[in-house]
Structure 1
Amino acid sequence: MPQVRADLEALTRIPSVSLDAFDQAHVEASAEATAALLRAEGLDVEIVREGGRPAVIGHRDGPPGSRTVMLYAHHDVQPPGDDALWDSPPFEPTERDGRLYGRGAADDKAGIMAHVAALRAHGDDLPVGVTLFVEGEEEVGSDSLATILERHGEKLRADAIVLADSTNWAVGEPALTTTLRGMIRVVVTVRTLDHGIHSGMFGGAVPDAITALVRLLATMHDDAGDVAVEGLRSGVAADLDYPESRLREESGLLDGVSTIGSGSLLSRIWTRPSITTIGIDAPSVAESSNTLVPSASAKISMRLAPDEDDMEAYALLKAHLEAHAPWGAQVEVHLDDRGLGFAADAQGPVYDQARAAFADAWGVPPVDIGVGGSIPFVAAFAEQFPEAAILVTGVEDPDARAHGANESLHLGEFERVCVAEAVLLARLGALPR
């Protein structure tokens, strides 16, 4: 583990932010560093680019007739955001109270190193064939993944796929992620005027676009906070103990602010649709004038039940927004991004061995959880490899703060993740064909 951690820290120091506005030479450096780690474990490695960021594919055969396991992670990271919000530099991994802080320390360079640790644990005696696929653009939507799967799919074909990009239920409590919500992201633009006009001279008779946009956004929820777009599917989450006090602590919900929606808390965040306004384009407070604004836009993120068709959901949202245009305002809806959810039939020998491996590493059996966020590439793998058992695992815990300031990795949990994956490979190698 000391060398695994040292290699993780070296990876974390590479600011491999895959967004266009950042220096992509760092993403290239991250791919090269990842490839070097895999070559050192005896894998045949290539870096592939199919119109997007570099991905790393490595393979090593197992014993004759053994299963093949594909291990997934990604080496790109989110932007650090405001450095002032970090308690230590985002790309200088720093340990505090048993956690390693740094952008990508948890999401998902620890996933890469968990795979490498499992290889090192077995040394020259791998019990199964192993293929590693380390993507370089997960944080920007995996746009070239479909092409990679089309052109390199046979290299990735496996009996089991371990996708290390999720979370555990709590520190000391492992989990398999069996459902993921899908997603739709749209930009809605509201127009009421062909130019800005004096608010004192025309206000009261002429609607402004910002007020019309606010009224339109408000139609997407009922008074209880449930999504009011008709026709969307909803599911019921697993019956796990998740009190409101834990939700408040993990989310940072302010005192006096109530939760929204109905049904169990886990259903609300795992299996029911949600709608969030994540950005608005309009004059800023500092730069605004006494003007009726002619147009305003908002970006809307809608999460979907795991079994919801993303394009059908988009059609329902678009129809809702167009039908609820206030005061006859012109409404234009543009699809920005989409992704299918995922629901695993988490039964069979591979899942049995995965649960046993988690129990070996943690000393307690794992729970099956859902995740309210969306990981569209999981659905892409499920479609491409329908016969493979897909295990969505992770190195994070509820306090990892992935994507936020002070992202961190619980080092004790990370060691258990590494042990569990090494044990899983051994258990799969012992299964009869």
Structure 2
Amino acid sequence: MNPTSTSHADRRAELSGRVQDLMPAIRDDLETLTRIPSVSLDSFDQRHVDDSAAAVADLLEAEGMQVRIVREGGRPAVIGHLPGPEGAPTVLLYAHHDVQPPGDDADWDSAPFEPTERDGRVYARGIADDKAGVMAHVAALRAHGGRPPVGVTVFVEGEEEIASESLPAILDKHGDSLTADAIVLADSQNWKIGVPALTTTLRGLVRVVVEVKALDHGVHSGMFGGAVPDGLTALARLLATLHDDEGNVAVQGLLTSEAAELDYPEEVLRAEAGLAEGVSPIGSGSFLSRLWTKPSMTVIGIDAPSVAKAANLLTPVGRAKLSMRIHPAEDPDTAYRLLEAHLTEHAPWGCQVTVTLDDQGAGFSADAQGPIYEQARAAFEDAWGVPPVDIGVGGSIPFVAAFAEKFPEAAILVTGVEDPDTRAHAANESLHLGEFERVCLAEALLLDRLGRMG
């Protein structure tokens, strides 16, 4: 029998037993961390974000790490470091401790910041996105008794949910202490329950506010309707030009390509997205191409009089916020200019159209080959019992591109604890406990394998 295989098998069994024994305490710490409502939006109490950073620092210090909390004009981030054996590689483990707003409590089946278990899942805001990512890193360290066979740096950001605005400054000032051979970014998802995944592509993002002005002031809809346009109707006509009859994005010049072929039938899409009965999917091409490598366009907000308070008036101005996801290789500046040109060129009835850039972020595409990726895939297969699949994600995680640019020689592994039922950002966000244990084991196994490789 191959001695290396025997050694890996023995280590897998040993680490699996340790992780299993650790899970009750890991879960307790995760739930304690999740009870801190660390919403990073300005409209929420930022003392909770400070408390969350302090709690993360305490968790890392308990594992023997040298820890500091850094703040470069934004929310607090936590950096912990544990040196490895002489000549061993260094691994950077990333997660974020800030969370999305909970939304309306009435939409939740249990209190959003009180973790509640139902049918093998724990429900709470931020428990999966991304405080379970934080605790997966802690679990991997604990599984090795605080003495992993590699150097480990843990970086837990505090403003990922508000676009990581101070991340470039942190990387610029503290980048030397974050240099690593492998970077594990634990903020993505797995393919489905029981099947792990490495995320190898992410779409980029362009978000804009478009304003359509038809009148200098509101006027009586009966007196002038029929001869004079109003801002809301003009806005509706403009927004309708953003898709063709099939539902494809109609902005000309945007990049598109076909995604990898994986089994993803319409019934799975309908179930995972909660598509209402009778509603058809939009766009053309494979579903995964529509989700991962083709552009998408979503109206995520409109300023308009409410139905309950609407006057019988021609509204002078209509405003909407648009979220456009772009091909992983698309330049966000180029995509913004194409969108701006489309909106201004399709101004209905000569109305004044103004487009303002609200946010943008680059996509990501990994060349997921080489020994570190091989060890990661092997660790995933050891933890789940089945090989992982390479997936794309339609959402945007701009910080991934920032790390790829800052550390071009590092192997970037985008992993995560989420699954298609997680509902990150939505009401009833949840974590599958069985999958969480496998994530913790996979990361512990990865550190072990990278130490042996080193």
Q: TM-score, normalised by structure 2?
A: 0.95
Asked if the contact 2:207/2:323 (under 8 Å) is kept, the reply is yes
Query: Secondary structure of the residue that 2:209 maps to in structure 1?
Result: strand
Q: What residue identity is the alignment partner of 2:96?
A: H
Match of 1:243 in 2: 265
Query: Secondary structure of the residue that 1:87 maps to in structure 2?
Result: coil
Which of 337, 342, 348 lines up with 1:320 in the alignment?
A: 342
Cα drift, residue 287 of structure 1: 1.2
Q: What residue identity is the alignment partner of 2:83?
A: D
Separation in 1 of the partners of 2:316 and 2:276?
A: 35
Cα drift, residue 31 of structure 1: 0.2
Match of 1:354 in 2: 376
Match of 2:154 in 1: 132
Query: Secondary structure of the residue that 1:336 maps to in structure 2?
Result: strand
Q: What residue identity is the alignment partner of 1:274?
A: S
Match of 2:84 in 1: 62
Q: Which moved more, 1:67-76 or 1:287-296?
A: 287-296
Percent identical across equivalent pairs? Answer: 74
Query: Secondary structure of the residue that 2:188 maps to in structure 1?
Result: strand
How does 1:221-260 map onto structure 2 within 5 Å? 221-260=243-282
Match of 1:298 in 2: 320
**Deviation digits for residues 351-376 of structure 1 (CA, Å, limit 9, x no counterpart):** 00000000000000000000000000
- Structure 1 residue runs of 4+, over 3 Å off? none
Separation in 2 of the partners of 1:294 and 1:124?
A: 63
**Deviation digits for residues 155-196 of structure 1 (CA, Å, limit 9, x no counterpart):** 101000000000000000000000000000000000011000
Q: What residue identity is the alignment partner of 2:123?
A: Y
1:20 aligns with 2:38: no
Query: Secondary structure of the residue that 1:127 maps to in structure 2?
Result: coil
How does 1:17-416 map onto structure 2 within 5 Å? 17-416=39-438
Separation in 1 of the partners of 2:144 and 2:222?
A: 75
Cα drift, residue 305 of structure 1: 0.4
Asked if the contact 2:141/2:147 (under 8 Å) is kept, the reply is no
Query: Secondary structure of the residue that 1:167 maps to in structure 2?
Result: coil
Aligned alpha-carbon RMSD (Å): 0.5
Separation in 1 of the partners of 2:63 and 2:136?
A: 13
Cα drift, residue 125 of structure 1: 2.9
Separation in 2 of the partners of 1:93 and 1:150?
A: 37
Cα drift, residue 284 of structure 1: 1.1
Separation in 1 of the partners of 2:90 and 2:390?
A: 24
Aligned residues: 432
Consecutive unaligned residues of structure 2, counting only runs of 5 or more, are 1-22
Cα drift, residue 124 of structure 1: 4.1
Separation in 1 of the partners of 2:121 and 2:352?
A: 51
Consecutive unaligned residues of structure 1, counting only runs of 5 or more, are none
